[in-house]
Structure 1
Amino acid sequence: MTATASPTGGTPHGPGRGLVRELLRTKPVDRIVAEGGQGEGGELRRSMSLLQLTLFSVGATLGTGIFVVLGEAVPKAGPAVVLAFVLAAVTALFSALSYAELAGTIPVSGSSYSYAYATLGELVAWVCGWCLLLEYAVSVSAVAVGWGSYLNEFFAKAFDVTMPAAISNSPGEGGGVLNLPAVAVVAIATFLLLRGTSESATANTVMVFLKIAVLLFFCAVAFTAFRGGNLTPFAPMGWAGISAAGSKVFFSYIGFDAASTAGEEARNPRRDLPLAIVLSLAIVTAVYVLVGLAAVGAMHWTRFELSGSEASLARVLDEATGRSWPSMILSLGAVVAIASVVLTVMYGQTRILFAMSRDGLVPHVFQKVSPRRAVPVANTLIVAAFIAVLAAAVPLGRLVDATSIGTLFAFSLVSVGVIVLRRTRPDLPRSFRTPLYPVTPLLGVGFCVYLMVGLGGVTWMVFLLWTLVGLAAYALYGRRHSRLAPGNRKENR
């Protein structure tokens, strides 16, 4: 078949142009919002309050990061690690403000995937969703793997018993064969998710309050040993050290966008989603700065490198009190923190798959909703099984680093989406507007790209290979089954 030539010699109606239009087709915002909550067999239930949404994001963010990353960041910046946390928070804030605008404008479950579909087109949305699948699955598997070690530490200090290495370590690590605690924490999260969104949100709220209480307990104990001399010199490595530490601690802020995956289960999404995203970032920043200040005030910064990253907070408490029970309580807090992260991140992944399935880009099984529980049961079980196998039997190694690049890619797309939607749909009602537009979203893109460029070659290789696999999956399945495909539009109206 020959394409019709244009007067200028181009082929505007040719197969090439048709393919480009197909790949860049966007889903109208009005249609995305109208379909909100609808799935096969039932609807998601709007039951989450502002407090629950905020604590969902806090639960996803405030996890292993503060228990591990502080010990890695202090040797880079000294006592100025406090400023490093502030620097990372400002960097995250640029993306958070863009998330807040789009979450209030497009209050649906798909988070950055849905935002990209409305602004940048189907192919970009697919790649974004595909990257989020890698980010969520690998990160939650890695977090689940760490749960066993913290549980072992708690058992050792509380009851003087430990689990055998063969069943508590990941394969190829310390004699590990099958990490059963990782399977256990995934099973607990799955049970809560299947009970219902309201029940999951309530359990997360309890866990978040508990882990914040444990970190405040750490601060209270550490401040009893506070010595002003430990803060001098405040910035021994200067701005370069603060910047390096800021890059390190930035990834402890990942997760503030969790509330945006609950857009179809929020009671008042246009008002509550933007507030939840910004409030969660503020809460997490306050906790991080307070914990950092207490830690470097109680123990000289040069001793953090000797203590080992995973034991840094416990070492501070041991030195401050000379007893083991405070660090036992801290270990309990780490166990609760990890369980909360597993719950909220698994929830986010199921809701993103739910949105992608409703658009036809992944199989319909992921959008089937239980009429009784108002949750996607099959979706949750499939995700749980995949994560459990990954956590229990696969050595994750450096693959975990790939979660960072997928997150930054999604963050940058959200910032671009704000700019595109302001130009294409200025008439849309926006419950929150990103301040200092367009400077704020442009800075969001710039910071994300800067951090992506600084990641290692292996990370980029994993990211590119995963993207290629995703493009193949889109070509073989997503493109033909998309509800926006010409042959599918009529039957899916």
Structure 2
Amino acid sequence: MDHGAASPVSSPSPGAGRNLSRLTRRKPVERLVAESGHGEGGLLRRSLGVWQLTAISIGATLGTGIFVVLGEAVPEAGPAVTVSFVLAGLTALFSALSYAELAGTIPVSGSSYTYTYATMGELLGWVIGWCLILEYGVSVAAVAVGWGEYLNELLDGTVGATIPAALSAPPGDGGIVNLPALLVVLLAMALLLGGARESARANAAMVAVKIGALLMFCAVAATGVRAGNYTPFAPLGVAGINAAAATLFFSYIGFDAASTAGEEARNPRRDLPRAIVLSLVIVTVLYCLVAAVAVGALPWQDFTGTEAALAGIMEEVTGRAFWSVLLALGAVVAIASVVLAVLYGQTRILFSMSRDGLIPRVFSRVHPRTGTPRAGTLIVAAFCGTLAAVVPLGRLADATSIGTLFAFALVNVSVVVLRRTHPRAPRGFRVPLSPLLPALGLGFCVWTMAGLDAVTWTVFGLWLAGGLAVYFSYGIRHSRLNEPGRPAAADEPAG
């Protein structure tokens, strides 16, 4: 053997270098903004103002924590569940500030997928997009399952009958198919197919109903508040507060939904940051108010983990079924708005990924009459409806939390990176004390992720592995950055 000959592995091949550069290529911010709205066959229509955008984020957020998982969090923290809500809200706030800056700088439909693509490259952008599919798609299914609980509560209080378990619970929970969960997903789909403006109006009306229902709960349940129910305040200590905060983080998922409307906002640079921050503030105040009244009206030991906890408190306090039925009616409307807003966000993220060529182009086809991605909406609704009909709620919520936390973590990093690469880019909002606050947002996300169980991490790892397989078999070859005349972002800062 000639030891003086060069080894075939002594230096990387040109092909390997090209493949690495393809994984890290970034999509220029200027091009992202220039392409905004363009789909296969048409434009998304800019028709949404700041209050409609705020309602989208509130619609995607408010409802899940209070109407669905409060009963699961109180046994973990006791009366200190209000502190858990604040802690979970702070975890979300730092990331919300980062979302606000990026939404005002890159006002397109892709949310954190697009932000990561522009700052850290195509591979990480794909990973975040894949996480968002988990976040939004599974959120729709999980919330739809909770909607069925309140529908049964409403039917029981009005007509004295409920949907049989075989048709209102998924396999594994004593049923065959969760028909109500499928129904609410199909209803949201029908509203979205009518157009962004029309669905935003329907969402705003439902948001008004849900806020009214929660304020009504506070007014009525406050008559049953007993000071003794607040002592001991933290019976399970700091560990219990932290455990409940991790559970309740699921209830804040959705504040970023306004960022998915970047191409349908009339004044995105100004209105998107306002909508994101304002929605989170409104939601946090309502969550803490309702939680404080709930644990004051009912001893924390009596919370059983049922998804219909608030309706039970109303009946316990008043001794009359009327109030619990009225609250159940508000919850049915409220949770339907979560499904609508989150399903909307999912279709817009897939729209952006499709326009970039990373998933099939069918998701970016815009209907000429309604200005919506009709085919993508139908496909997403079919997927989410099937998931809601056959998968139990608990594990869905955990899987959604870890995907969201991972996306939030990289959004906090993206703010810092974009400040360095595009320091003079127009911004509708700037995170104060950067990079300190983005670093805190990143730290909170990592800390909360660490508190999730091993099974959730395993599911997340399998999901990411599947996503990488899809990217390397399809996305990397079909990326629009492969096309002539479409260069990746340069490294120098933009002027």
Q: TM-score range by the shorter chain?
A: over 0.9
Q: How does 1:443-482 map to 2 (within 5 A)?
A: 443-482=440-479
Consecutive unaligned residues of structure 2, counting only runs of 5 or more, are: 1-8, 488-495
SS in 1 for 2:480: coil
Contact 2:412–2:441 (CA under 8 A) maintained in structure 1:
yes
State the partner residue of 1:42. 42
Alignment of 1:247-396 (within 5 A): 247-304=246-303, 307-394=304-391
CA separation in 1, counterparts of 2:262 and 2:88?
26
Please name the residue that 1:177 is paired with: 176
Q: Secondary structure of the equivalent of 1:264?
A: coil
Of 338-347 and 79-88, deviating more is: 79-88
| TM-score (structure 1 length as normaliser) | 0.93
Q: CA deviation at 1:246?
A: 2.1
Q: How big is each residue's C-alpha offset from its partner over 1:282-315, in whole Å with a ceiling of 9 and x where there is no partner?
A: 00011011101111222222332xx443243223
Matched, 1:130 2:114: no
Equivalent pair of 1:399/1:459 in contact (CA under 8 Å): no
When residues 399 and 79 of structure 1 are mapped into structure 2, their CA distance, relative to the original with a 3 A threshold, is closer
Q: Is the 8 A contact 1:170 1:393 kept in 2?
A: yes
Q: 1:343-388: CA deviations, max 9, x gaps?
A: 1111111000100011011111111111111101111111111122
Cα deviations across residues 379-406 of structure 1 (Å, max 9, x unaligned)?
1111111122222245576354211111
Alignment of 1:88-167 (within 5 A): 88-167=88-167
Aligned mate of 2:404, from 397, 407, 421: 407
Please, what TM-score do these two structures have when normalized by structure 2? 0.93
Tell me the CA shift for residue 30 of structure 1.
Answer: 0.4
Task: Tell me: CA distance 1:164–1:315, structure 2 relative to 1, closer, same or farther (3 Å).
Answer: closer
Give the equivalent residue in structure 2 for 1:216. 215
Q: In 1, distance between residues paired with 2:163 and 2:244?
A: 35
CA shift for structure 1 position 49: 0.9
SS at match of 2:481: coil
Q: Deviations over 1:17-41 (max 9, x none)?
A: 2221110000000000110011111
Q: Following superposition of structure 1 onto structure 2, how do residues 182-221 of structure 1 map, counting pairs within 5 Å?
A: 182-221=181-220
Are the counterparts in 2 of residues 399 and 462 from structure 1 also a CA contact under 8 Å? Answer: no
After TM superposition, the structure 1 = structure 2 runs for residues 417-436 of structure 1, keeping only pairs within 5 Å, are: 417-436=414-433
* Cα distance in 1, alignment partners of residues 459 and 331 from structure 2: 29
User: For residue 471 of structure 2, what is the amino acid of its counterpart?
Assistant: Y
Per-residue CA distance 1:437-461 (angstroms, 9 max, x = gap): 1111111111111111221111111
Q: Relative to structure 2, which stretch is displaced further, 17-26 or 73-82? A: 73-82
How much has 1:152 moved relative to structure 2?
Answer: 1.4
Shift of 1:143: 1.9
Per-residue CA deviations over 1:106-138 (Å, capped at 9, x if unaligned) read 000000000001001000001110111122222
Alpha-carbon distance in structure 1 between the residues aligned to 2:70 and 2:474: 44
Q: Which amino acid aligns with 1:106?
A: I
Letter in 2 for 1:468: A
More moved, 364-373 vs 383-392: 383-392
2:438 is aligned to 441
Secondary structure (helix, strand or coil) at the match of 1:310 reads: coil
Q: Which amino acid in the other structure matches residue 69 of structure 2?
A: V
1: distance between equivalents of 2:314 and 2:43? 48
**Partners in 2 of 1:444 and 1:13 — Cα distance?**
40
Alpha-carbon distance change, 192 to 256 in structure 1, aligned in 2, over 3 angstroms: same
Change (3 A) 1:356 1:311: closer
Give distance in 1, aligned partners of 2:106 and 2:10.
37
User: In 2 relative to 1, CA 301–163 (structure 1 residues): closer, same or farther, beyond 3 Å?
Assistant: closer
Q: Report the CA distance shift for 1:320/1:394 in structure 2 as closer, same or farther (over 3 A).
A: closer
Identical amino acids, percent of aligned pairs: 66
**295-304 or 334-343, larger mean C-alpha shift:** 295-304
Q: What is the CA-CA distance between 1:232 and the residue it aligns to?
A: 2.8
Offset at 1:200? 0.5
Structure 1 unpaired stretches of 5+: 1-8
Partner of 1:3: none
**54-63 vs 456-465, greater mean Cα deviation:** 456-465
Query: Structure 1 residue 70: deviation in Å?
Result: 2.2
Counterpart-to-counterpart distance in 2, 1:473 and 1:253: 29
Give the residue type in structure 2 aligned to 1:39.
Answer: G
Task: Kindly provide the amino acid, as one letter, of the partner of residue 448 in structure 1.
Answer: C
For residues 154 and 347 of structure 1, the distance between their equivalents in structure 2, rounded to whole angstroms, comes to 26
| Deviations 1:53-112, CA, capped at 9 Å, x for gaps | 001001111123212322222233332222221121111101000000000000000000
Aligned residues: 479
Q: Are the counterparts in 2 of residues 84 and 249 from structure 1 also a CA contact under 8 Å?
A: yes
Give the match's secondary structure for 1:224: helix
**Is the 2:24–2:120 Cα contact (8 Å) retained in structure 1?**
yes
CA RMSD of aligned residues (A): 1.9
Question: Closer, same or farther in 2 for the Cα pair 1:465/1:239, shift >3 Å?
Answer: closer
Q: Would the aligned equivalents of 2:311 and 2:324 in 1 still touch at CA under 8 Å?
A: yes
Distance 1:476 1:488, change over 3 A: farther
Are the equivalent residues in 2 in contact too, given 1:112–1:414 (CA < 8 A)? yes
In structure 2, relative to structure 1, the CA distance for the partners of 1:335 and 1:193 (3 Å cut) is same
CA distance in 1, matches of 2:429, 2:486: 32
CA distance in 2, matches of 1:177, 1:69: 23
What SS does the aligned partner of 2:316 have? helix
Distance 1:277 1:463 in 2: 27
Equivalent position amino acid for 1:309 in 2: T
Contact 2:409–2:442 under 8 Å retained in 1: yes
Tell me what 2:53 maps to.
53
